[in-house]
Amino acid sequence: MKRLNVAILGQGRSGWLIHGTHFLSDRERFRVVAVVDPLADRREKAREAFGCDVYGTLDPLLLRKDVDLVVNCTPSHLHVPVTGRLLAAGFDVLCDKPFARRAAEVDELVRIAAASDVRLFAFQQSRFAGYFRKVREVLDSGVLGRPVQISVAFNGFARRWDWQCVQRFNGGNLLNTGPHPLDQALQLMGGEEVPAVFCRMDRANTFGDAEDYVKAVLSIPGRPVVDLEVFSCCAYPRATYGIQGTRGGLKGTQETIDWKYYLPEECEPRTLTLEPLSDADGSPAYCSEALAWHEGRWSAEEESKDEYGVFGDMTARYYRMLHAHLTEGAPLEVTIEQVRRQIATIEECHRQNPLDAWI
């Protein structure tokens, strides 16, 4: 198996806790050869952990010829300019979320990648989460019938006072947490076009000037309506997922998924009647029946766990997919086109909620 040389930009919560710790667990596929971080203590920690070269700025890295992939984990507002510089310098780049702030920025990065004959990837590891894969499996099976509405709620109660709640750093719930549920919701929704959007944002518990309340309704003709929530003022979080279908429904969290459905062939044949309904004794009757429900349940505890643990599993699955793509030409399951659709949806949400009015 070919081992790829990786450089990581940033050793914060994402660069170290997500990407870095994964690379330490999968030395068969990846070897970290360089780390860039402006903080000396983080550089030293990386040097000890990976045995790699470390730099305080990007310039020395740009001179290297032995790097197969650069992982961009810089602060959110630097994702686009840093990724563009790396692509122009001839590197394949994996950019963490949020991939960009505007769809036009995605288009420009794609243009630079094409001009430099390099590859551009988006890190959307929650696409590979066990709970999401189960939701998608149940929906794709067709047992719920035609999905009418899909509800996705990544809610909780928290106060935030770091840089990720500040607009000029591309902070706020929609760009921080939102790329995960929105990516999942758009995959379940289907189609390729950008949906029509109705969105309302608010500032509830944040100490910054970006939103920490997001409510969005997405729609495409012929597709299920999506109800998306990313709240930081929800003291009683409800199910992460809810699906309402013509033959049943699903509800679930990241730990358990439940679904139930009926089989049309087990039901009494029905036809529309406009005559008054009556019970056997002639009394007026309500239009109702007892359906025979079939039920299923999934639990995260029952899912097989590999060496990476439950949370790290989705990162490991993403990187196994990416490694197979880079070394064997396997299909890329998370595409830039899909992520552009996500960013265009986020951009419309922001257009409807001009945050500068809150300052």
The mean pLDDT of the chain is: 93
Check whether 13 has a pLDDT greater than 50.
Answer: yes
3-state secondary structure of 215: strand
Q: List the alpha helices (DSSP H) in 230-335.
A: 309-328
Residue range 17-27, pLDDT digits in tens:
999 999 999 99
Residue range 62-100, pLDDT digits in tens:
999 999 999 999 999 999 999 999 999 999 999 999 999
Residue range 318-354, pLDDT digits in tens:
999 999 999 999 999 999 999 999 999 999 999 999 8
Mean pLDDT of 218-232: 96
Q: Among 69, 1, 25, 94, which residue's Cα sits nearest to residue 311? A: 25
Residue range 159-170, pLDDT digits in tens:
999 989 899 899
Check whether 177 has a pLDDT greater than 90.
Answer: yes
Which class would CATH give 4-123? Answer: alpha beta
Check whether 199 has a pLDDT greater than 80.
Answer: yes
Extents of the domains making up the chain: 4-123, 127-307+340-358
Residue range 116-149, pLDDT digits in tens:
999 999 999 999 999 999 999 999 999 999 999 9
Comparing 28-37, 154-163, 262-271, 296-305, the range with the smallest average pLDDT is: 296-305
Check whether 304 has a pLDDT greater than 60.
Answer: no
Check whether 182 has a pLDDT greater than 90.
Answer: yes
- Percent of the chain with pLDDT strictly greater than 90: 85
Phi, psi of 183 (to 5 degrees): -60, -45
Tell me what pLDDT residue 289 has.
87
Check whether 40 has a pLDDT greater than 90.
Answer: yes
Tally of residues, the chain: 359
Check whether 302 has a pLDDT greater than 80.
Answer: no
Q: Is there a shared CATH topology between the 4-123 domain and the 127-307+340-358 domain?
A: no
- Percent of the chain with pLDDT strictly greater than 70: 97
Check whether 303 has a pLDDT greater than 70.
Answer: no
pLDDT bin (cut points 50, 70, 90) of residue 359 is very low
**CATH number of the structural domain 127-307+340-358:** 3.30.360.10
Q: Among 144, 223, 143, 141, which residue's Cα sits nearest to residue 185? A: 223
Tell me what pLDDT residue 314 has.
93
Q: Regarding predicted confidence, which is higher, 307 or 341? A: 341
pLDDT bin (cut points 50, 70, 90) of residue 308 is low
**How would you list the strands of the sheet with 248-252, edge to edge?**
196-202, 213-219, 225-231, 147-153, 241-245, 248-252, 256-261, 294-299
Mean pLDDT of 219-240: 93
Q: List the alpha helices (DSSP H) in the chain.
A: 21-25, 40-50, 59-62, 79-88, 103-116, 130-141, 173-176, 179-189, 309-328, 336-352
Tell me what pLDDT residue 11 has.
96
Check whether 307 has a pLDDT greater than 60.
Answer: no
Check whether 311 has a pLDDT greater than 80.
Answer: no
Mean pLDDT of 270-279: 89
Mean pLDDT of 293-314: 77
